[in-house]
Structure 1
Amino acid sequence: MRFPLPESLARLNGVADWLQSRWRRMTGYPASRRRRALGTPPRAPWQPRPIRTSLLYIAFASILLGGWWYYSLQANQIDAARIPGDPRAELEITKMRLDTIRNTLTVAAGLGGAAALILSFRRQQHEEYHSTQQRITELRIQAVAQLGSENATVRIGGLHNLERLGEQHDELRQIVLDEICSYLRLPYTPSKRGVREEDSAAQSLAVSELRANRAEREVRLIAQEILLRHLNAAAAPRRYWSHSRLNLRNAFLDGMDFRGCRLHSADFSSATFSGLTSFSGTRFEGSATFDRAAFEGVVNFIRADFGEGVSFATATFGVFANFEHASFNLKAYFISTAFKGAASFREARFIDGSAFLHARFEAFAEFDGADFDDHASFTGSTFGANSSFSAARFRGFADFELARFEGPAFFSNVVFGERAGFTGATFRVWSEPGELLDGWTMVPTLDDAHRWQLVPDDAVPQGPSLGPVGRGDEAEDEKASSTGGLGDRSSPT
């Protein structure tokens, strides 16, 4: 249990902290050792300020004026002590005047020596600063040159040299991250898994090419490890590197694990994610972009927090996309996104609207318990297999216009706060009557006898060939079956 400090002690602590910060700034305390809040952008590196020539003139004039003032003050006091007609007093006054002149020159010389010492110290600071900066530049150029080597070991050494620069100079961390990301953005084609060197001839691959590809994969894995080591705020808060951007456009990422990371303005446009990819618990600060990204394996966004909007436009999820309990604080765009495997948005929260325009769910799509606080659009989306919106909450307008449900659709216990639109939405297979929406009725489409659509109960046509499906007693079902085959609850096909 923590007890509150008295007001006087709290003020003293505040004054002590201020004095400590001022002392560190005046003495050039290394910026890498300062304690900062997590995520605070690094300050500019300390550097000595140049002394203006005008300040030197002012200092020289101040020494002269100070010496003249001191001599004048002593001379006036000596003249006031003069005794007219006393030769001994005149001799003493002369000695006092000489002592005054000597003291004045001594003080002026001392002030001049102090000024020269200050200038020498500042000159030394400038020389040390420039030599340090020159050394940092040389090390960075050397590390970047190592990344271009044909030897994989040399490239690994270059990556570690860049990491060491970032650890020692926090003002260089963004530059180091940019360099590592640029290396991962280089063109790379992975070799086929399971290909052995003795089988490379049969696969039309040279042994040297296969070995070089595997060595390059190891280098890229180490580059990914360096990124994860300094972007994971949960595992290692003290080693976290604050940054303003993370550019991984067109990068090939193999088994990337961003669990617990904090990513600011992350750009994964056209990136390829191979193997198991995890963004579980990842916090995205700033916008996040995954446009045209390809997820070849399983990807987890469980409890991910998208702070300022995210876009998965035309992205492709190959196996399984898991967005359970994810939080979308601003707009979430899944425009023309392809989910070739199962997709789960169970209990995800969309705070500022979502757009699943023309998205394709080729396997099971789950939105059970999802919370849509604003407009939710599934216009033109295709659900190829089972789709479930059970217990989902739509507080804004839910738009399913022109959506196509090729498999059973479940809307049990769904809540619509404003209204829902199913204009042009069609169903090939529907669920049991208890799973249908309250207030809606399934009727056949006019252009395709094998497809069905939802219409409000008050808008159901009363003609015998357009009777409701799955509602009423058996006699009505038989009548519908005799008129248009509407009594069969299985798939028309």
Structure 2
Amino acid sequence: MAASAVLVIAGGSGVGWWLWRQADGLSEPIRTQEQAQAVRVGLATAGGTGAALALLLAVRRQRSTEHDLWLKEQAAADARHDATERRITELYTKAVEQLGSDKAPVRLGGLYALERLAQANEEHRQTIVDVICAYLRMPQPCAEELSDTEVQDEQHAAAGTADDRRIGEERAQLRAEERQVRQAAQRILINHLRPDRRTNFGEPTNTNFWAGINLDLSGSTLHDWHFDQCEVSSADFRGTTFHGLASFHSTVFRGFAGFVGATFHRTARFSSATFRRSAWFIEAAFHETAEFEEAIFHDSCWFDEAAFHQFAGFAKTTFHSTAWFDATFHDTIRFDGARVRLDQDITSDWPAGWQVREPTSASEGRIDGSEGVWGFLVPPADA
């Protein structure tokens, strides 16, 4: 402040003194008038300089205040973020601990707590999905999965003493409760992976949809898996066992889809499914009907060493790339209306009795919405 005052006085005095000296050679009364004017100009200069300095100081104070405020806001934001992350970590840890409880209601509570956490925190969704998938991968046999030894134990318990029967009933109750927990885990995944698009390329209408999820259910045992119209970035079902209907109708696999060594004890439904990357069904076992009607394989599909024990339907399926069907067919397989792209240098291995027929005209060789030249899969009599 003292330096500013000195600068103001010096500036005003300097200008006034210079103008005063300019009036020394003038005659009266002009000299007196000019000297008075010099004094006024000096005072005005001092006032202007003071105002400019005051404005500069005010600007500097404002900038300093704003910077201090920004630092405080940033610190507050960091504190809120840290508090939020700590809260999320606490909730996550507690929910995971609940999944390890020996009581089914507590495990259910843990699942639903994880679901709420994922819905509110997009950046943690993949981690929470991984936890739910890991839970489903854990071996927890249900009644239809009992080993021969366990079946004998239950039969012995049923025919044994009252204590044996009580123990058998308790074990059956525990399995039934665990079945409910696993069904809840499946529903959570399905409900949040179904976008409910009005068109193939429209925006999701399901506000609870979790986009960009990678699903790893390899080696798990799933019951009544109704994954219709869902979307995933990738899906790993290697070695998965499906009890009851396994339905992937109209499901979109945006990345790799792995079903190597999977076992389908009931109908496997992949009708109208879309595979945008490679789909591997190597060594898969289809014990009942396998439905792939109107499915679309944009990349290679592999069914080598797969076993189809009943009817396999690939009618109106579209193959954009390589297809390998060095599989075992115990019943009929049909490719009626299936289309194969012909204008690419690819090699495929079709089931015995099926060949590719080239189109008889340019219009017959086109598919609406798809590039390339397309042929048909037909039995030998129609080739």
> What range is the shorter-chain TM-score in?
0.7 to 0.9
User: Which position in structure 1 is the counterpart of 2:170?
Assistant: 208
* Alpha carbons 1:321, 1:342 under 8 Å: kept: yes
Q: Tell me how far 1:115 sits from its aligned partner.
A: 2.6
Residue of structure 1 equivalent to 2:274: 305
Q: Counterpart in 2 of 1:169?
A: 121
- Paired position in structure 2 for 1:367: 335
Aligned to 1:323: 292
SS at 2:255 equivalent: strand
The match for 1:283 is 252
Q: Is the 8 A contact 1:373 1:394 kept in 2?
A: no
Distance 1:295 1:115, change over 3 A: same
Change (3 A) 1:80 1:314: same
Aligned pairs for 1:165-314 within 5 A: 165-192=117-144, 201-202=157-158, 206-234=168-196, 236-314=205-283
Q: Which residue of 1 aligns with 2:85?
A: 133
- Tell me, in whole angstroms, the C-alpha distance in 1 between the residues paired with 2:124 and 2:92: 10
CA shift digits 1:119-138 (9 cap, x unpaired): 22221111111111111111
Deviations 1:34-63 (A, max 9, x none): xxxxxxxxxxxxxxxxxxxxxxxxxxxxxx
Give, in angstroms, the shift of residue 95 of structure 1: 7.4
Alignment of 1:30-69 (within 5 A): none
Matched, 1:80 2:15: yes
Provide the C-alpha distance between the structure 1 equivalents of 2:186 and 2:9, rounded to a whole number of angstroms.
75
Q: 1:154 to 1:356 in 2, by over 3 A?
A: same
Q: Secondary structure at the match of 2:219?
A: coil
Q: Counterpart in 2 of 1:13?
A: none
What's the offset of the Cα at 1:90?
A: 10
Structure-2 separation of matches of 1:122 and 1:72: 38
Q: Name the CA distance, whole Å, in 1 between partners of 2:249 and 2:99.
A: 31
CA drift at 1:186: 0.8
Contact 2:136 2:221 in 1 (8 A): yes
Match of 1:377 among 349, 352, 373: 349
Structure 1 position 183, deviation (Å) = 1.0
Question: What stretches of structure 1 of length at least 5 have no aligned partner?
Answer: 1-63, 382-387, 397-415, 421-434, 440-493
2:236–2:257 CA contact under 8 A, matched in 1: yes
Contact 1:349 1:371 in 2 (8 A): yes
Query: Separation in 2 of the partners of 1:310 and 1:249?
Result: 15
Distance 1:89 1:135, change over 3 A: same
Superposition pairs for residues 381-420 of structure 1, below 5 Å?
Answer: 389=354, 393-395=356-358
Going from structure 1 to structure 2, the CA distance change for 1:75 and 1:119 (only over 3 Å counts) comes to: farther
- Give the aligned CA root-mean-square deviation in angstroms: 3.8
Partner amino acid for 2:80? E
Indicate the SS of the match to 2:207: helix
The alpha-carbon distance between structure 1 residues 111 and 438, as it changes in their structure 2 partners (threshold 3 A), is closer
Give distance in 2, aligned partners of 1:159 and 1:308: 31
Q: Deviations over 1:294-335 (max 9, x none)?
A: 011111111111111201000101111111111111111001
| Letter of the structure 2 residue corresponding to residue 264 of structure 1 | S
| Residues 194-247 of structure 1 deviation map (CA, whole Å, 9 limit, x = unaligned) | x9xx98833887222111111111011011111011101127532211124211
By how many angstroms is 1:249 displaced? 0.7
Deviation at 1:251, TM superposition (A): 1.3
The letter for the 2-side match of 1:215 is: E
Could you tell me how far apart the structure 1 residues matched to 2:216 and 2:140 are?
A: 17
Q: Secondary structure at the residue paired with 2:227?
A: coil
Residue 148 (structure 1) aligned to one of 94, 97, 100: 100
Contact 1:258 1:282 in 2 (8 A): yes
What is the CA–CA distance in structure 2 between the aligned matches of 1:355 and 1:265, rounded to whole Å?
Answer: 21
User: Relative contact order (C-alpha < 8 Å, sep 6+): which is higher?
Assistant: 2
Alpha-carbon spacing, 1:418–1:246, altered in 2? closer, same or farther (3 Å): closer
Distance 1:437 1:131, change over 3 A: same
Given the alignment of the two structures, is residue 123 of structure 1 paired with residue 95 of structure 2, yes or no? no
Shift of the 369–152 alpha-carbon distance from structure 1 to 2, 3 Å rule, reads same
Structure 2 CA distance for aligned equivalents of residues 262 and 145 of structure 1: 29
5 Å matches for 1:15-30?
Answer: none
Separation of aligned partners in 2, 1:274 and 1:109 = 73
Q: Could you tell me whether the CA contact under 8 Å between 2:142 and 2:179 is conserved in 1?
A: yes
Displacement of 1:248? 0.9
Structure 1: how far apart are the matches of 2:271 and 2:251? 9
Aligned residues of 1:328 and 1:352 also touching (Cα < 8 A): yes
Contact 1:342 1:363 in 2 (8 A): yes
Q: Counterpart of 2:219 in structure 1: which amino acid?
A: N
For residues 191 and 220 of structure 1, what CA distance do their matches in structure 2 show?
A: 13
When normalised by structure 1's length, the TM-score is 0.59
1:467 corresponds to which residue?
none
Give aligned pairs, total: 328
Paired residue type of 2:92: R
Q: How far does the alpha carbon of each residue in 1:101-130 deviate from its partner, in whole angstroms, 9 at most, with x for none? A: 666555544443333222222211111111
Are the equivalent residues in 2 in contact too, given 1:71–1:104 (CA < 8 A)? Answer: no
Letter in 1 for 2:15: A
CA 1:70–1:309 in structure 2 vs 1: closer, same or farther (change >3 Å)?
Answer: farther
> Contact conserved, 1:286 with 1:308, CA < 8 A, in 2?
yes
CA deviations 1:59-100 (Å, max 9, x no partner) are: xxxxx9xxx999969964774355537797699579747777
Percent identity between the two aligned chains:
31
SS at match of 1:276: strand
